[in-house]
Structure 1
Amino acid sequence: MSDRQQQFINRSVRQLAWRNLWRHKTRSWLTLSAIAITTLLLVFMLSFQFGTYDTMKQQNLSLMSGFAQVQNPEFAERPNLQNGFTIGKNWTAILDQQSQLKHYSFRAQSFAILSNLSDSKNRAVQIIGVQPQREKSLSSLSQNISAGNYFTDQNQVMPIVLGKQLADALELKIGDQLQLLGQDAYGSLAVELFTLVGTFDLNISELNSQLAQIRLSDFQQLFAYQNKAQQLVLKTDKLEQMDKLAKPLFQKLEQDAYPQNLRWRDWKDLQPGLYQTIQMDIASAFLWYSALLLIVVLIVLNTLYMSILERHNEFALLHALGMHPSQISRMLSFEMLLLISLGLLLGWLLSVIVSAYFMQVGITFPGMEELFAQFGISGTLYPQLSLMSLGFVPLVFLLSWFLMAFMVRFRIAKIKPLTSRQL
């Protein structure tokens, strides 16, 4: 058979498939609609779910921990002043050279007792020494100041920022002085008077009642921690960029800090609870999505298979007229592919339009702010289109089409030409 004859046969098979598809318009439209609605729902639900995960990671990690940290290997288990590191002399230059690294900051922390001047109220709190100018772009804590300011006066002597509940418990207001009593890196007493310049409200009671921040320079002076820190907190524009940046950046920092022993901790290590929650939710969600998709796929395949059984005599007649069984099976496979592709395309377009709209305006859940705040996220969530959300449903339907095409080929191979007696 020449190439020209083969092209003619293929074109004829495609034309027959397209015409056969619309011989039963109601059935075709119902099947097409089922595929389109399933695609719309699942693509949007997956986009919303992945968008929720992205929001949880971005906002939760932006609160305090950052996307990654460099620490002493012992700091995670024993976060004390002895498990810190000396800041490398070239670290700032190395970090500034990284184009993808938008924000970074050094921190140090310890525990101390804060009390008002009358000594009528005192609390054991966590004191964190920060670099205020860098923290403003790194942590969302500085954006949640409920009163006062966040270290705006660089000439202020010993300023301190407290959680709102902590300030209330100590009966302090902006401008009041308070006393800090702690222990420095050598075991000596660390005592100093601080002035309250601001309070923050994170909607997380544990942080509001137990956290205080001072300048890193004041921390180093007070706790005998000169040129030392416990955390180098890092953040990029997108979380994925940090994974690419991690290895080369850490190697440079290690070389400059030699012979110190350092450890790189990514967000999964910093927030294992968040990571495990996301993984469990993904597993359970895909179980439900797969069950729903399987039901729809079986319904669609059953409809298509029943239509093939109804057309037995038609196929036998085509065989008698000279059409080879392989050509008949190709025609049927193309019919199914057209129907599935049209349904997927329609559902795909609708899901992209709906997802794109909510990506702009977001989805708000009134009354859920306090629950979401426990995970460090706001009450408005945004879907996020991804290859996974866009490709999961089409992949399953295309795999189902391959299965159906194999069944059709096996079924058509048994068809015998229609005889005059059968007519």
Structure 2
Amino acid sequence: MWLKLAWKNLWRNKHRTAITTAAIFFAVILSVAASSLQDGVFDNFIKNMVSYYTGYIQIHQKGYWNHQVLDNGMIRDSSYESRISNQKNITAIAPRIESYALASFKDLTKGCMVVGIHPEEENKITALQNKVTSGKYFDHKSGNTVILSEGLAERFGLQVNDTVYLISQGYHGALAAGKYLINGIVSFGSPELNDQLLFMPLHTAQEFYSAPDLVTSYVLGLKSDKYLGSTVSKLRHISGETYEVMSWKELLPDVDQHIKMDKGSMSIILGILYLLICFGIFGTMLMMMVERRYEVGMLVAIGMKKGILAMLFLTESIFTVIIGSVAGLSCSIPLVYYLKEHPIRIGGEMAETYERFNFEPIFPASTDPSIFITQGLIVVSIGLLLSMYPVITVFKIDPVKAMKK
């Protein structure tokens, strides 16, 4: 009976009910859209950063990260690689061998970082093939060929099909020397990487350093950053004390700190949004109680108990909150999916900066189901909390004063 009476009361004044429901409806849409864009932008930023070079996770021989020399590398273990690749959230595992060498052309010499890569797996993680500006990427026929970063090539005045000479110290002090045909040139937005990287196929790098089957790191790709913590824990469990497993947060602590600061700023903005939502919902409920003040006073005056009347008002408020929240969630879902498929595009200088780093200049939305659930519950909680205002008003009302016009 209470539910039926409360439901009929709602539609006794459709205009008033529509205004209150609309306040909650738009509150849900705003909170979901803001949270979705926040998560989407940060997820996209993290994806761009880790796909630039580091990957989501790296695995090294214990102690390698603090003292990065070939002698601290590890011999490839097919069974260990298989256990890594069997983790359900890992999308790629790219072995690398990284070390320094002196590159020489004519009378010019410059230090560079040699990175031996598995072409197919590396491309899955860093999309290195997309960064090639001239020449071509490695294929299965690539032998003694290399790909130079753009800044390094300009320093030497090298072009595709030229030859570069390398000399370095190999594994266990062996002499490393060789000449290599330039297969392509890649461009990095970061000057630090663009001025020093030289890529070669993994087997070629192992031959150059006299280090058969040696790698210095495994670089891993993930489906999403939300799986980072659980995946790192599992990998550390299967790696034991032999290997060190490091997430991108440990590899790029400055970036992690920057993201935390930005998230803190966004939390303040969301807090202000929730405050505005509170004022919006409270304003409609205040209006409702002012309009119904005479009605409440009369009902109390003729003998209706305030507790029963308060329960009726609370039920009406709950109905209003639920209707507005469900309607808001129903409309926010297609809106968020639209923003994911058609993300907000950045223009101007910021877009140029993104493109220089080979990042797509967009602000995408996240469609993580937890966003809809969390924001829906927050707005419902705010609505239910503010629903106590009509209840308190009923208990405090003076029927004589309420019926005075």
Q: TM-score, normalised by structure 2?
A: 0.88
1:217 to 203, 210, 213: 203
Counterparts of 1:316-355 in structure 2, within 5 Å, are 316-355=297-336
Residues 229-283 of structure 1, C-alpha deviations (whole Å, 9 max, x = no match): 21111123333345444444444344xxxxx631111222223233222222121
Which residue of the partner structure matches residue 72 of structure 1?
61
1:59 to 44, 48, 68: 48
CA shift for structure 1 position 374:
7.1
SS in 1 for 2:172: coil
Contact persistence 1:16–1:331 (CA under 8 A) = no
Which residue of the partner structure matches residue 257 of structure 1?
none
Change (3 A) 1:418 1:250: same
* Larger displacement relative to structure 2 (205-214 or 306-315): 306-315
2:38 to 49, 62, 69: 49
1:293 to 250, 274, 287: 274
Change (3 A) 1:125 1:98: same
Whether 1:380 aligns to 2:375 is no
* Runs of at least 5 residues in structure 1 that lack an aligned partner in the other structure: 1-7, 255-259
SS in 2 for 1:152: coil
Which residue of the partner structure matches residue 4 of structure 1?
none
Counterparts of 1:104-115 in structure 2, within 5 Å, are 104-115=93-104
CA shift for structure 1 position 197:
0.6
Contact persistence 2:96–2:216 (CA under 8 A) = yes
SS in 2 for 1:173: coil
Contact persistence 1:66–1:139 (CA under 8 A) = yes
Question: For residue 14 of structure 1, what is the amino acid of its counterpart?
Answer: W
1:134 to 121, 129, 150: 121
Contact persistence 1:43–1:390 (CA under 8 A) = yes
Whether 1:405 aligns to 2:387 is yes
Question: For residue 224 of structure 2, what is the amino acid of its counterpart?
Answer: K
CA shift for structure 1 position 199:
1.0
Question: For residue 319 of structure 1, what is the amino acid of its counterpart?
Answer: V
2: distance between equivalents of 1:402 and 1:195? 71
CA shift for structure 1 position 84:
2.0
Contact persistence 1:18–1:335 (CA under 8 A) = no
Between Structure 1 and Structure 2, which shows a larger proportion of helix residues? 2
1:230 to 212, 216, 224: 216
Counterparts of 1:360-375 in structure 2, within 5 Å, are 360-367=341-348, 368-373=350-355
CA shift for structure 1 position 58:
2.0
Change (3 A) 1:109 1:182: same
SS in 2 for 1:304: helix
2:156 to 170, 177, 187: 170
2: distance between equivalents of 1:300 and 1:345? 16
Which residue of the partner structure matches residue 172 of structure 2?
186
Contact persistence 1:68–1:235 (CA under 8 A) = yes
Change (3 A) 1:242 1:407: closer
Change (3 A) 1:372 1:80: same
2: distance between equivalents of 1:148 and 1:280? 41
CA RMSD between the two structures: 2.9
1: distance between equivalents of 2:290 and 2:78? 79
SS in 2 for 1:413: helix
SS in 1 for 2:385: helix
CA shift for structure 1 position 416:
6.0
2: distance between equivalents of 1:14 and 1:209? 70
2: distance between equivalents of 1:99 and 1:335? 47
Contact persistence 1:109–1:127 (CA under 8 A) = yes
Which residue of the partner structure matches residue 5 of structure 1?
none
Contact persistence 2:31–2:273 (CA under 8 A) = no
Which residue of the partner structure matches residue 8 of structure 2?
15
Contact persistence 1:103–1:236 (CA under 8 A) = yes
SS in 2 for 1:82: helix
2: distance between equivalents of 1:187 and 1:277? 40
Change (3 A) 1:11 1:126: same
* Larger displacement relative to structure 2 (391-400 or 218-227): 391-400
2: distance between equivalents of 1:279 and 1:346? 33
2: distance between equivalents of 1:300 and 1:307? 11
CA shift for structure 1 position 32:
3.9
1: distance between equivalents of 2:34 and 2:6? 38
Contact persistence 2:21–2:324 (CA under 8 A) = yes
Counterparts of 1:154-165 in structure 2, within 5 Å, are 154=141, 156=143, 158-165=144-151
2: distance between equivalents of 1:89 and 1:300? 61
Change (3 A) 1:403 1:362: closer
Q: How many residues align?
A: 403
2: distance between equivalents of 1:248 and 1:349? 37
Which residue of the partner structure matches residue 286 of structure 2?
305
CA shift for structure 1 position 223:
2.0
Contact persistence 2:310–2:394 (CA under 8 A) = yes
2: distance between equivalents of 1:281 and 1:175? 45
1: distance between equivalents of 2:86 and 2:394? 66
1: distance between equivalents of 2:32 and 2:320? 19
Change (3 A) 1:381 1:415: closer
Counterparts of 1:391-402 in structure 2, within 5 Å, are 391-402=373-384
2: distance between equivalents of 1:397 and 1:237? 30
